[in-house]
Structure 1
């Protein structure tokens, strides 16, 4: 599953610190909780955190900031009352500035274990930026933290979080953070059969494109990967992970993080190999991915072409 990289290395460097943003193809319709740093009883931070109203991109009256620390987390926490166990989309709001941190760790206390997503706070400010979809337990507790433990440079910023139930809501999702690659990368041909190679740095979040059941792959060709059997019966294959985020046999929802990209298996550089099969027939995924990028419902897997997308 090698790719002829003409632009991959340059592009991978350019997007290495891209913010983790995910835009579903269809919007979830469910209860939403927003917690600002000024929400009474819902935000806590140590005295190492300061308050500022300098940026007009802030959510509410102000936001919190702190210097990075390579020895301790000293997280600022957002507390939320999760009404029922389930899958929730977690988004963050922050002002962006060239002096803010390029690798701010956001910690989500998922029921499957805490997960850290790093965000470049020099980009995508003044808007909701999705960390992904996570399984959350019911209860009133600290759900999202902003950690100071980073080797990135610049202030880490804590402003607001938004938590939305996605159970039964979001039907499709991009396989990578939206800012990881430009649209033009999603129509590239594969080197020898219907599939696509997407050049992204090791550790980039990989998401389930739709709901289904996952089976782990671990071989010399794919490396660490996932076969996602979608609710439509098609198989969506991800290869060359550096790590899995879900167990084999797990049921996942669209937008749920299933792994981290890497360079395992038969690979000449960090990237995500993505393919679609219906039965034993390989399908060209380019039109499917372009539709996701454009926020429209993608074509059915069975309607995707079987040729014309390889060298």
Structure 2
């Protein structure tokens, strides 16, 4: 897959450039992710930099909490819609931007490996071991200073991850509820919605595509009754849906939810991994209805949010911007019907 190929290129460049050094301490909790992804990012920060977002490596271009070398940073910053003109290196970026980039990176690893946490340290250290298990008990690039086999690295990494996951209490990286403003709410925890994503366009019709790590809670932007729930957890491209003999189960929305509001507004949420509602359920604004994912016709984990009134699609972006900034919320019927896609 394209994402995996790019991932392998990026992580090999990262590993071969500097010796592996485990940092001490560092329970720095990122602002970009929560739940499983938050714990994964915390584990990487702890082992790579001790949670130091400004650290730089003396022997290579690696920098920041996740110790990205510059070429790898530029690739994943682009995937996360982060300007490398503004932030040319990892250490030059604010904490939450580094978390955002690493979150997109890790989310791609999970999406390409059936959400297996065990795959994260392998891909982060030496991705060739995924396809060639003989590498698991070999030391990759010892000339670069590495001293651990891939299996030893994975074991050390997973021990740290499990300690953090089991800690609970005040150390747990939990996903908070969304803020509810009257009859409206943001569709995800505010901390994972960057201000620069609010006007992201859809590819060819009015909607909102938001790159969001798999497993992030998705909330109903307003209330209503669940009109439809899609159940296909497969991925369009991985399942061969675009081929000559596509499987019968293929649906573009994947695990999707459509909610009908009494005033005629229908809001749809596509590409989730899990649904928490059923057809006919009454839903309140801000209710946790799904967890994000990469199902359906999706190239990487993201939320597709679509609004329709009487069958006509309206742009969600002005509504989301108002909710995020606490300004006057526009009427759904007044939302534009063009100008929020690449083909307007």
Q: TM-score of the superposition, structure 2-length normalised? A: 0.44
Instruction: Considering fraction of residues, name the structure with more strand.
Output: 1
Structure (1 or 2) with the larger CA radius of gyration = 2
Specify which structure has the higher proportion of helix. Answer: 2
